[in-house]
Amino acid sequence: MKKYIFDYIKNIDNILKKKPKDINKIKEEHLIKIQFFQHERLIHLLVTLFYCLFMLIFMALGAIFIGFFIIGLILLIFVIFYIIHYFRLENSVQYLYKQYDKMNEIK
């Protein structure tokens, strides 16, 4: 996903440098891509929140049995990587918004 969105952003940046005359079709396709990436962002947010919830539950259960604490630590590693991925996805989608604003300036 990371490579896909970065390649798409680079492609749109190249198109915007040329300032095409038929920008309406590009804008429509760009809005559709934004919707796809927003959906992806929502799914990753939900997955991240559930991983955080399970991590907290296992950490709390770690007071009862040390095995739960170890599972909680493993989930913490997953949570860290999901947060990094979500952060990149969030920033990329916000950059797509800026690209759309640039498209609106071209007329």
Interval 7-57: pLDDT, tens: 999 998 898 888 877 888 889 999 999 999 999 999 999 999 999 999 999
DSSP character at residue 63: T
Domain ranges of the chain: 2-9+36-101
Tokens of 6: 């970065």
Residue type present at position 102: K
What global pTM score does this model have?
A: 0.81
What pLDDT does 1 receive?
Answer: 76
Q: Which residues of 45-54 are buried (b: 16+ CB within 10 A; e: fewer)?
A: eeebeebbee
